[in-house]
A = this chain, B = another copy of it.
């Protein structure tokens, strides 16, 4: 039977929206947003799209009009009643009322601020300016829109069955990964793949396949909308943008050196348990840990997001030991460029030493590598970052010089202040 109403509904769409909800975003964005809303609501920031994969000519691939339609659509979104009820009433990490009433009231009235879009050669310049708690919510939907419009541009040229077989191949690949992961004892893995996903529907499929295929080993998704609709845990804590903006706001070198700890002091006051996860690599993991106050060693765990993950995990283990903590009680969350082989290797290497868990991103939700001519669907390294705060440029160093960003003079200054020496470069896959 043809569902005529659905068909009519579909063909009257002006666009097929990519982002359908303000909570089609990462959970940690909302946690951080609440923290910023409380602690730094007046900060003026600029976020900017950065395509680290210059060989992908985004402006040639994606029609500017379509891009504007998608971004305009996002600006028309507001929190629905059900979404609001879920955020207010759901248990996150075992805690009720994670989101405070004043934050929720603000969020319920929010529309995303304007964007600035301009074509520059074969790339787009896409920036967002305004108050930090508003602008920061652009990051994930902006990335998702660009990734999916690029997918759509490639898929547009394909036949109906060719398309179905492409997805058949993609599904088979995801399922084979899940089958391989199933063999790992005591695995703990979550979907972190919202930002650079192939598409919304595809991420939703991947999450459901993980649910069926991995059972309890699948701990949840970073995507709030999918967590809500599929009734899985929303996962995430905090990200580089907090120390980056705090650092940019620092008045002098002493304040700069203190900034990353100020971030975590604010976080410490607001959260406990599994939400107390250190992200130590913004200005070099080693120095960050060496200079950290003792109360940080009491936190639940650490997230490893750049550099050689085994080195970073071992650094954390040594640090906990030096502070009299038992590393086997600590959690290490690996979240950088993971795929099955790497997950297996890290799991084996750290089994019994720490509680390892995995935030699996782009190679879960966007692995169509090798499935179309010219590898035109291969994921690429697109980010959307805070580049300025109250007029000052932001800087990120990370444990991989290939992921560093900011003006060179500021990078040099940060390296000096944070005592960052030689770093081993790692290829950035996604």
Instruction: State whether the Cβ of A208 lies closer than 8 Å to any Cβ in chain B.
Output: yes
In the complex the two chains form, what is the Cα distance from A169 to B176 in whole Å?
Answer: 11
Q: Is the CB of A172 within 8 A of B175?
A: no
Q: Which residue of B lies closest to A160 (CB)?
A: B212
Instruction: State whether the Cβ of A1 lies closer than 8 Å to any Cβ in chain B.
Output: yes
Instruction: State whether the Cβ of A171 lies closer than 8 Å to any Cβ in chain B.
Output: yes
Q: Is the CB of B1 within 8 A of A161?
A: no
- The stretch that binds B, out of A3-11, A66-74, A98-106, A260-268, is A3-11
One of B1, B172, B212 near A3 (C-beta < 8 A): B1
- A: contact size bracket: 20 to 34
Q: Which residue of B lies closest to A3 (CB)?
A: B3
In the complex the two chains form, what is the Cα distance from A267 to B413 in whole Å?
Answer: 94
Chain B contacts for A161, CB-based, 8 A: 175, 208-209, 212-213
Instruction: State whether the Cβ of A94 lies closer than 8 Å to any Cβ in chain B.
Output: no
CB distance from A120 to the nearest CB of B (A): 39
Instruction: State whether the Cβ of A164 lies closer than 8 Å to any Cβ in chain B.
Output: yes
Q: Which residue of B lies closest to A169 (CB)?
A: B172
**Known contacts A1-B3, A212-B160; A175/B165 CB under 8 A:** yes
Q: Which of A1, A162, A171, A209 has the most chain B CB atoms inside 10 A of its CB?
A: A171
In the complex the two chains form, what is the Cα distance from A161 to B164 in whole Å?
Answer: 16
CB distance from A210 to the nearest CB of B (A): 9
In the complex the two chains form, what is the Cα distance from A175 to B160 in whole Å?
Answer: 12
Chain B contacts for A164, CB-based, 8 A: 171
CB distance from A250 to the nearest CB of B (A): 49
Chain B contacts for A5, CB-based, 8 A: 1
Chain A interface secondary structure, helix, strand, loop or mixed? helix
In the complex the two chains form, what is the Cα distance from A299 to B171 in whole Å?
Answer: 49
In the complex the two chains form, what is the Cα distance from A165 to B176 in whole Å?
Answer: 9
The number of times this chain is found in the oligomer is: 2
Chain B contacts for A212, CB-based, 8 A: 159-162
Instruction: State whether the Cβ of A93 lies closer than 8 Å to any Cβ in chain B.
Output: no
In the complex the two chains form, what is the Cα distance from A168 to B162 in whole Å?
Answer: 12
Instruction: State whether the Cβ of A167 lies closer than 8 Å to any Cβ in chain B.
Output: yes
Chain B contacts for A209, CB-based, 8 A: 161, 165
Q: Which residue of B lies closest to A1 (CB)?
A: B6
CB distance from A237 to the nearest CB of B (A): 29
Chain B contacts for A213, CB-based, 8 A: 161-162
Q: Which residue of B lies closest to A206 (CB)?
A: B161
CB distance from A381 to the nearest CB of B (A): 28
Per-residue B-contact encoding for A188-208, CB less than 8 Å = 1, 0 else: 000000000000000000001
CB distance from A181 to the nearest CB of B (A): 14
Chain B contacts for A172, CB-based, 8 A: 165, 168-169, 172
In the complex the two chains form, what is the Cα distance from A323 to B167 in whole Å?
Answer: 54
Q: Which of A9, A159, A168 has the most chain B CB atoms inside 10 A of its CB?
A: A168
Q: Which of A1, A5, A164, A208 has the most chain B CB atoms inside 10 A of its CB?
A: A164
Chain B contacts for A9, CB-based, 8 A: 1
Pick 29 A–B contacts, CB within 8 A, sort by A: A1-B3, A1-B5, A1-B6, A1-B9, A3-B3, A3-B6, A159-B212, A160-B212, A161-B175, A161-B208, A161-B209, A161-B212, A161-B213, A162-B175, A162-B212, A162-B213, A164-B171, A165-B171, A165-B172, A165-B175, A165-B209, A167-B168, A168-B168, A168-B169, A168-B171, A168-B172, A168-B175, A169-B172, A172-B172
The 3 closest A-B pairs by CB, nearest first: A168-B168, A3-B3, A165-B175
